[in-house]
Chain A
Amino acid sequence: MRIKLEKRPAPSVAMMVLTPVLSVLLTMLIGVIVFDFLGVDGFGAVRDIFLTPILASYKWQDVAVKAAPLVIIALGLSVGNRAQVWNIGAEGQYIIGALFAAGVGIAAGDLGGPFVVLAMVLAGILGGALWAAVPALLKTRWDVNEILSSLMLTYVAGQVLGYLVGGPWKDPNGRNFPATAPLHDNQVLPIVFPGTTVHLGVIVALILPFAFWWLMARSMFGFQVRVVGAAPQAARHGGFDTKQTIWLALVISGAMAGLAGAFEFTGALHAINLGFPSGYGFTAIIVSFLGRLNPIGCLIAGVVLAITYVGGQVAQTTVHIPSSTAGIFQAMMLFLILASDIFIRYRIRFVSRRPQAAAVAGE
């Protein structure tokens, strides 16, 4: 007996849907086993990380608020990934987006109201797009790998944030903590359900996936992105501009990350401190792949990853494991989803060594 990988005649749609689900389940199973071996209550940990946030209704608003930036960033990244443009620097674009929004807020002074909030959000989109335009320029002009340039710019963004909140933008009443002054009440994003933390950005994150689905499936822009990603030579033959596609893919993913940053700042945190970069930009990469680069898939995957974030904090208090444990589960999910991709195009067959028997098995 031996195991043989065999190419499927056509990619399996069932596997495309099933493998993300199986990856999550397998992650939970491995988690139980590994934590039990480490002497921690594995079942408890996995239950708290994956199930408590769903079962306990008071955690739902936390999940929603955490899912919003993940979904929004992942939507943008999916566009880039479809075009085989790998923006790894969404975290940096997210930071710059929030800083642009903060800049507008500070410039507005005591002014507030819907237009100021809108201006802050638009500034966030602009900031993220500009930060992503740098790798786009480097890539199209000098063929610099966008994976490296976008990732490195994340650290630059972190330094910019450190300088601003520790220097010119430091809250005069903040007991010398490196943080901006909290937003005025008339500069924050409205809360949708009174008494919760669910802000307007969550609603936008619910609507955007459908807009992106329409864009990718029905518009020529979506077609262009898909062609360039699937067959660059055919794209050139068809008269599509590869450089333009790289630009658009990076700028759109940067704009989405900037939007998420502006929402997080104006809707959830209301101030920027050194802890503002929380890894959403990186986790969104997992969301994008777990969602199979499909906008609706990103919405579902964003909720799943948000659950692990919230669950990590639950597990910290109940089974006393660090909340960063959630990061291990997230990484495990990404690993499994990428590894299981092979089952979309291939299937496993068990064949015996004797060739005659193989012929029979093939009937």
Chain B
Amino acid sequence: MTTRDTPRLELTGITKRFPGVLANDHVGFAVQPGEIHALLGENGAGKSTLVKMIYGIMQPDAGEIRWNGQPITVTSPKAARRLGIGMVFQHFSLFEAMTVLENIALGMDAKIPARELEAKILDVMKHYGLKLEPRRIVSTLSVGERQRIEIVRALLLNPKLLIMDEPTSVLTPQEVDQLFVVLRKLAAEGCSILYISHKLHEIKALCDTATILRGGKLVDTCNPKVETSRSMAEKMIGGSLKDIQRQPGAQFGAEKLVISDLSIPAAGHFGTALKGISFAVHAGEIFGIAGVAGNGQNDLLLALSGEVLSARPEAVTVDGKPIGLHAAKARRLFGMATVPEERNGHAAVPVFSLADNAILTARDRLGLAKSGMIRAGAAWTYADEVIEAFAVKATGPQAMAESLSGGNLQKYIMGREILQKPAVLVVSQPTWGVDAGAAAAIHQALVDLAAKGSAIVVISQDLDELLALCDTLAVINEGRLSKPMQVAGADIEEIGLLMGGIHGDAQATAAAKEALAHAH
């Protein structure tokens, strides 16, 4: 990395205020030409606000943006693109029913004849090794392919700065590797890349410089190749990171949760059908379910919680008792507790107090309601207990659920279920959008619950989380679950292939691995 006199992009004293929160407080850093610069921080640290101002979606309240040394005002995303700033968003804006080519054409500011555009697209794709079929309909493409459309769209404008917002959160490990190849090539050609992420090992592998934000303030600008993941994480959360404490060599007990040949038809247009899912979780075991978003994770959670019933009672058994035909209320009494991924409006009622939210799922096991009447005092005491035990930052049991930050509400919800001492706990995306400190606390609570003899299922898209937390791991793809494997001896490459849709038969896996080896 050579330091030149004029950085490509330089921010000084950028400040942005929203009602009740200072999103960016005098943030300043510089991105050199050809540099891959990481913007690192927890949710709510102000990363998104900052890049929205660089891309012209918002205007800073104070501070200066310099582009190639010139002070500028980026009035709109269109103006940003004209300057040579491209952005690939975390959530894609693509029309499902149109082809790749049509989608790219719609996103262009200038009118270019279709034939010319197609030639240009093929050119860009060939140059960067981005595999895409221009005539394919978007709805048939995988998430990774959709992201490539967005990248091609950005690259067609010959950007001098490319902003990538959490690009790997929906990709399989193999797709991540392919993306990194493209980004390195771009950087080598002199394009600067602003890479937003909270995945530290990716930043270590890819980036030249890392700017760390916390609470809207600049904490540090450092070299991620020199720093450790741990040191960066601690800068990010502003405290020391706790490791998960677990007892080595713990033995599993009897089978607690047994799912046998669970099949559920797809719910509505956006659901995924579950096809013959079978697995067993023992007392003391943490069972992970990995997979790319939208492969039936949510459907599986609903089928376990009892919000969707199975066809046969034996499809779901807890402690040997078949409960496949029991609904949510009854399943809880058998010891099945669940935490869906959506906190607001599914796991909790946003406009209800924490005490009322305790009644929502704990009323029967803990007697928070008696002969049709709410026992407000008991609900209050339990909510207070959860707040205390899980260090939830809230004004008290009367606080509205919606007034809590995502991480705090998640801690409360996890606490609400864990303190009920369930025989089986199923959680989906337990640490999604949760800061690292809260995530560590949640992980520890899950490990402690397992140590006390509960069976735990963790459904997550975050493979790192599963590898750190689980004893056993299976992959869900298009509503099918792979064979479980021991995490201790797990092969990341195989997990990645399973996530990408090669189902657990050994031959196909071997063949795919070989093909991959040839490609390298």
**A interface vs B, CB < 8 Å?**
6-7, 9-11, 218-221, 223, 226-227, 230-231, 233-234, 236-240, 355-356, 358-359, 362
In the complex, the 6 A-B pairs of residues with the closest C-beta atoms, listed nearest first: A239-B329, A239-B328, A359-B61, A238-B360, A231-B349, A231-B345
CA gap between A9 and B405 in the complex, in Å: 12
Do A218 and B15 form a contact, CB below 8 Å, given A223-B359, A230-B351, A239-B329?
no
Contact across chains for B361 and A237 when beta carbons are under 8 A apart: yes
Does any Cβ of A come within 8 Å of B430's Cβ? no
Contact across chains for A355 and B356 when beta carbons are under 8 A apart: no
Does any Cβ of A come within 8 Å of B62's Cβ? yes
Chain B residues near A221 (CB-CB < 8 A):
372
Name the contact of A219 in the complex, choosing from B17, B361, B373 (C-beta under 8 A).
Answer: B373
A210 → B minimal CB distance (Å): 16
Name the contact of A239 in the complex, choosing from B15, B306, B374 (C-beta under 8 A).
Answer: B306
Contact string, B319-357, partner A, CB cutoff 8 A, digits 1/0?
Answer: 000000001111010000010101001111111100010
Does any Cβ of A come within 8 Å of B317's Cβ? no
Does any Cβ of A come within 8 Å of B248's Cβ? no
B21 → A minimal CB distance (Å): 10
| Closest A residue to B362 using CB positions | A238
B234 → A minimal CB distance (Å): 30
Chain A residues near B348 (CB-CB < 8 A):
231, 234
Chain A residues near B342 (CB-CB < 8 A):
233
Contact across chains for B346 and A233 when beta carbons are under 8 A apart: yes
Contact across chains for B346 and A219 when beta carbons are under 8 A apart: no
CA gap between A218 and B352 in the complex, in Å: 14
CA gap between A246 and B40 in the complex, in Å: 48
Chain B residues near A239 (CB-CB < 8 A):
306, 327-330, 332, 361, 364
Do A10 and B403 form a contact, CB below 8 Å, given A355-B61, A359-B15?
yes
CA gap between A6 and B17 in the complex, in Å: 13
Do A220 and B372 form a contact, CB below 8 Å, given A227-B349, A236-B328, A237-B305?
yes
| Closest B residue to A8 using CB positions | B19
Chain A residues near B328 (CB-CB < 8 A):
236-239
Contact across chains for A219 and B374 when beta carbons are under 8 A apart: yes
Contact across chains for A218 and B373 when beta carbons are under 8 A apart: yes
CA gap between A231 and B340 in the complex, in Å: 14
Do A7 and B19 form a contact, CB below 8 Å, given A237-B307, A355-B61, A358-B61?
yes
CA gap between A358 and B20 in the complex, in Å: 13
CA gap between A231 and B15 in the complex, in Å: 37
Contact across chains for A356 and B61 when beta carbons are under 8 A apart: yes
CA gap between A7 and B402 in the complex, in Å: 13
Do A227 and B346 form a contact, CB below 8 Å, given A9-B20, A238-B328, A239-B329?
no
Does any Cβ of A come within 8 Å of B114's Cβ? no
CA gap between A91 and B508 in the complex, in Å: 68
**B interface vs A, CB < 8 Å?**
15, 17, 19-20, 59-62, 305-307, 327-330, 332, 338, 340, 342, 345-352, 356, 359-361, 363-364, 369, 372-374, 376, 400, 403
Name the contact of A230 in the complex, choosing from B17, B62, B307, B349 (C-beta under 8 A).
Answer: B349
Contact across chains for A237 and B373 when beta carbons are under 8 A apart: no
Chain B residues near A231 (CB-CB < 8 A):
345-346, 348-351
B43 → A minimal CB distance (Å): 18
Contact across chains for B61 and A234 when beta carbons are under 8 A apart: no
Cross-chain pairs A/B with CB under 8 angstroms, 22 sampled: A6-B19, A9-B20, A10-B403, A219-B374, A220-B372, A220-B373, A226-B352, A227-B349, A230-B350, A231-B345, A231-B348, A233-B345, A234-B345, A237-B305, A237-B328, A237-B346, A237-B347, A237-B360, A237-B361, A355-B60, A358-B17, A359-B15
Contact across chains for A355 and B349 when beta carbons are under 8 A apart: no
Chain A residues near B360 (CB-CB < 8 A):
227, 234, 237-238
Most chain B CB within 10 A, of A237, A359, A362, is at A237
A46 → B minimal CB distance (Å): 37
CA gap between A231 and B376 in the complex, in Å: 20
Chain A residues near B349 (CB-CB < 8 A):
227, 230-231, 234
Name the contact of A218 in the complex, choosing from B330, B332, B376, B400 (C-beta under 8 A).
Answer: B376
Beyond the given A6-B19, A226-B352, A231-B351, please list 16 additional residue pairs across the A-B interface where CB-CB is below 8 A: A7-B19, A9-B20, A220-B369, A223-B359, A223-B374, A230-B349, A230-B351, A231-B345, A231-B349, A233-B346, A234-B345, A234-B347, A237-B338, A239-B330, A356-B61, A359-B61
Decide if the interface of chain A is mainly helix, strand, loop or mixed.
Answer: helix
Decide if the interface of chain B is mainly helix, strand, loop or mixed.
Answer: mixed
Name the contact of B361 in the complex, choosing from A9, A238, A359 (C-beta under 8 A).
Answer: A238
Chain A residues near B345 (CB-CB < 8 A):
231, 233-234
B193 → A minimal CB distance (Å): 28
CA gap between A240 and B305 in the complex, in Å: 13
A249 → B minimal CB distance (Å): 17
Chain B residues near A10 (CB-CB < 8 A):
400, 403
CA gap between A238 and B342 in the complex, in Å: 14
CA gap between A334 and B429 in the complex, in Å: 44
| Closest A residue to B399 using CB positions | A10
| Closest A residue to B352 using CB positions | A230
Chain A residues near B372 (CB-CB < 8 A):
219-221
Chain A residues near B305 (CB-CB < 8 A):
237
Contact across chains for A362 and B17 when beta carbons are under 8 A apart: yes
Most chain A CB within 10 A, of B340, B348, B356, B373, is at B373
| Closest A residue to B333 using CB positions | A239
CA gap between A322 and B360 in the complex, in Å: 52
B243 → A minimal CB distance (Å): 32
CA gap between A223 and B328 in the complex, in Å: 17
| Closest B residue to A227 using CB positions | B349
Chain B residues near A362 (CB-CB < 8 A):
17, 19
Chain B residues near A230 (CB-CB < 8 A):
349-352
B65 → A minimal CB distance (Å): 13
| Closest A residue to B343 using CB positions | A234
Chain A residues near B376 (CB-CB < 8 A):
218
Name the contact of B307 in the complex, choosing from A7, A11, A236, A358 (C-beta under 8 A).
Answer: A236
B452 → A minimal CB distance (Å): 24
| Closest A residue to B308 using CB positions | A236
Contact across chains for B374 and A218 when beta carbons are under 8 A apart: yes
Chain A residues near B307 (CB-CB < 8 A):
236-237
Chain B residues near A219 (CB-CB < 8 A):
372-374
Chain A residues near B332 (CB-CB < 8 A):
239
Contact across chains for B20 and A359 when beta carbons are under 8 A apart: no
A356 → B minimal CB distance (Å): 6
CA gap between A206 and B220 in the complex, in Å: 66
Most chain A CB within 10 A, of B15, B327, B352, B360, is at B360
CA gap between A11 and B19 in the complex, in Å: 15
CA gap between A10 and B62 in the complex, in Å: 28
Contact across chains for B356 and A223 when beta carbons are under 8 A apart: yes
Chain A residues near B327 (CB-CB < 8 A):
239
Contact across chains for B340 and A237 when beta carbons are under 8 A apart: yes
B450 → A minimal CB distance (Å): 23
Chain A residues near B403 (CB-CB < 8 A):
9-10
A48 → B minimal CB distance (Å): 41
Chain A residues near B20 (CB-CB < 8 A):
9
Contact across chains for A220 and B374 when beta carbons are under 8 A apart: yes
| Closest A residue to B371 using CB positions | A220
CA gap between A315 and B373 in the complex, in Å: 48
Contact across chains for B306 and A355 when beta carbons are under 8 A apart: no
| Closest A residue to B357 using CB positions | A234
Do A355 and B373 form a contact, CB below 8 Å, given A234-B349, A239-B329?
no
| Closest A residue to B403 using CB positions | A10
CA gap between A125 and B15 in the complex, in Å: 63
A101 → B minimal CB distance (Å): 30
CA gap between A223 and B307 in the complex, in Å: 19
CA gap between A362 and B328 in the complex, in Å: 46
| Closest A residue to B350 using CB positions | A231
CA gap between A6 and B332 in the complex, in Å: 41
